[in-house]
Amino acid sequence: MNNSDSKRTPVTALFGVRILDLGRVLAAPWGTQILADLGAEVIKVERLGVGSDERAYGPAFMPGPDGRPSLHSAFHNCANRNKKSIAIDLTSSRGRDLVLALAAECDVLVENFVPGKARKLGLDYDAVRDVHPGIIYASLSGYGQTGPLSDRPGYDAVFQARSGLMSLTGIPDGQPGAGPMRIGPSLVDVTTGYNLAIGILGALYHRDALGGQGQQIDVALMDTAIAIQSHALANYLLSGDQPPRQGFAGNGGHPSSVFDCLDGRLYISAGQDQFFGSLCVVLGCEELMDDPRFPTISMRGENRAALNDIIEPLIAQWRTKDLFDALEEARVPCSPINEYAAVLADEQVRHRNIFRKFASATGVAGEVPTVASPIRYSGTPIRYDLPPPGLGEHTDEILVDLLRLDRQAIEALRKDGVVS
């Protein structure tokens, strides 16, 4: 770890760790933001003029001081807080040399180029290891660093489809609207970002606490998309039967689904025996607890159609809020189908301070909203020190502090189009 400022008291979990972030779009920036939130110093390397790819992703953009859309897209803002930005021309030899010099001052380098591109740029693991043998070099890609598809690009929905995840998502066959469906948010990207962060943490611990060496990490969206289906794949590997799409139904026992009330819909998850019993009491159908079709979780799942025929008309007599309140009182897991306005107003969400704002950021007008880290420490708090950076906002600071370049040298690089 970098301990150049060892006199400071370490108040964050990753104090002293420095990361060079060449990641783009969502998965890699998300992973490095996790580490930045934990206290690592993250230096984001971006392209001259346009910045990292996610700056162009809409549909929402923060307005600049002139009122026109800025380079602070929603995608950029969601995955780049607590980072510093430096803009470098990676296609030039001088730009490559700057990145290698910066890597020599860092603990970790993260890249998510299509495999083979880093080597063409002279920034592959071997090149970086030559200047820093102890570096943790983390590569994130669509299909991984090896294999017949390793050189192909891909995005979240591609891997939802190819991994089988999309085949399990959507309305069951035979029902209106049946067919595979993409999961709304880019969950493969986000989960791969978490895997990237976990892999980096493990490699740092091996190197710094166990006396190990630097190494390369290979994290792939395809691998992650398959891994997050482990519970469904476990059934397939045992039975050979393709799991059907469940629509609104849960993966465990029943009742666990969205049900229609008089004035809306409510998700009820009462598969466990104690919850099923409590649900029956609330609905006034206690006799179902002794019905030979529904005594266990598995049998309720097998006989879900028969159970639905009984409880759906009973649920349909309730107003959504009244049934929600009654089930909450009975401690049966349930929820209305919230849109985002309701999520922001939720009392638990507000208590946990999940939505936060930065007062300002470089190059934009107004406050910058952000979603808090889901991690809570008792001794080393998550930091929210830096808003998502403006393009090249910290170029001079990084070159002075890390490479000890003087102002004249920096201006020469800027004049020649190497940095901005």
Residues with Cβ within 8 Å of 180's Cβ and at least 6 positions away in sequence, in order, are 161, 166, 167, 169, 170, 245
Quote the Cα angle for 189-340-191, to 5°: 15
Contact 136, 109 (CB under 8 A): yes
Quick one: how far is CA 367 from the chain centroid?
23
How far, in Å, are 172, 297, 386 from residue 270 at the CA level? Answer: 21, 10, 43
Contact 390, 362 (CB under 8 A): yes
How far, in Å, are 266, 269, 330, 342 from residue 327 at the CA level? Answer: 11, 10, 5, 19
For residue 166, the 8-state DSSP code is G
Handedness of CA 390, 395, 401, 402 (dihedral sign): positive
Task: Specify the amino acid at residue 161.
Answer: A
* CA atoms of 40 and 14, how far apart (whole Å): 5
Contact 106, 135 (CB under 8 A): yes
Query: Is position 173 annotated as part of the catalytic site?
Result: no
Looking at the DSSP bridge assignments, the partners of residue 83 are: 42
* CA atoms of 128 and 136, how far apart (whole Å): 10
3-class DSSP state for residue 305? helix
Residues with Cβ within 8 Å of 361's Cβ and at least 6 positions away in sequence, in order, are 62, 72, 368, 387, 388, 389, 390
Catalytic residue among 21, 37, 189, 223: 189
- Residues belonging to the active site: 189
